[in-house]
Copies of this chain bind each other. A is one copy, B any other.
């Protein structure tokens, strides 16, 4: 087997641990110099390949690569850019082949969610349809936890830990103040179509009356009257009411509670503003003093409160992707397989990219309590191990220390630029 270079790229929304996957890919590749030459990282995801902007990671020190494990964001840049089908835009694939050939790339590792696994799948088809065989392995990542086949998605556990912790901490604040001040607190969390992140707020408390008192899932149609009735009950019974609301919370007819109107490159509606909408509803109907928070990017970049389980899984799927490629596997994505819940034991499995792409895994309905406002014991048992363990980054001058990469681009070998 000839030595080939590898292309690795990060795609879609980044997470607190996507760089841990990058670390897993690069460190594992470095252990196999007889098979893998350089790992080129795409500058801004697949765009780096199309634009021939290839970061030569072989120029980074072992220390810098190791530091990726505690650095949030996407160290090489990510993108929201979806390849069309080969039949629709053959030119893009021809360009990819041109760039891959020029840089002797034989391995393609694409780190992302459902849309990105779709891209990885399309690239894997180039061998058959366009005569440039390339080993393609997807590396799972999404805070939304909505990829099929895998027990969970790297990136999710850390957001879940952040949301559970923040919900607990903020609830202690509200509880202290509710006698004479704020009675209702709404925390808006991510999760466009799946309520996994909102559900994780439920780990903040378990007993009767413990916060959060209401979780709003995208899976459950929002009912204004039932919501307000529950808020009023909690304030009267417990003195306060803490609400964790998914940005994807929607009415029966599919209208989002807060629809910002814009759409992203994948055609998804850009959401935001559920929390103020709910707070305003409470104020108008019940007159309670309220506060609201929108965690937004803070939740998915909060490496300082990452789950040790998540960091380990993120690293391991990166490592496994390279090992699968070296084993001659093709068009697969490593998955997390839960072997045992208590104590938690997991191993790496695999799923075909053709089946992973463009599927969304929603919360099973038995994970949501009958009243639609909470999580069940089954859900708690599923979520609990994913937030287990702390993996604090090193600190310098009071803030986390992060990887400093040179991100040097490999010299361009092609004469032409590509215009997307």
Cβ contact within 8 Å between A293 and B291: no
- Write the nearest CB–CB distance from A182 to chain B, whole angstroms: 8
Task: Write the chain B residue with the least CB distance to A383.
Answer: B398
- Write the nearest CB–CB distance from A48 to chain B, whole angstroms: 10
Known: A181-B79, A398-B389, A400-B165. A291 touches B305 (CB 8 A): no
Cβ contact within 8 Å between B297 and A398: no
Is A185 at the interface (CB under 8 A from chain B)? Answer: yes
User: Secondary structure at chain A's binding surface: helix, strand, loop or mixed?
Assistant: mixed
Contact code string A293-306 (vs B, CB < 8 Å = 1, else 0):
11111101111110
- Write the nearest CB–CB distance from A405 to chain B, whole angstroms: 12
**Within 8 Å CB of A187, what residues of B?**
298
Contact code string A198-224 (vs B, CB < 8 Å = 1, else 0):
000001100000000000000000000
Counted per complex, copies of this chain come to 2
Known: A181-B80, A181-B265, A292-B296. A176 touches B304 (CB 8 A): no
Cβ contacts A to B, 30 pairs, < 8 Å: A10-B176, A14-B176, A16-B169, A45-B180, A71-B172, A73-B173, A74-B173, A78-B176, A79-B181, A81-B180, A161-B398, A164-B398, A165-B304, A166-B298, A169-B302, A169-B303, A169-B400, A181-B265, A203-B399, A262-B283, A264-B289, A272-B291, A275-B294, A291-B297, A293-B294, A294-B294, A307-B398, A384-B397, A388-B397, A388-B398
For the complex of A and B, 3 pairs with smallest distance between CB atoms? A73-B172, A74-B176, A387-B398
Q: Which residues of A contact B (CB under 8 A)?
A: 10, 13-14, 16, 44-45, 47, 71-75, 77-81, 161, 164-166, 168-177, 179-182, 185, 187, 203-204, 262, 264-265, 270, 272-273, 275-276, 283, 289, 291-298, 300-305, 307, 384, 387-390, 392, 395, 397-400, 402
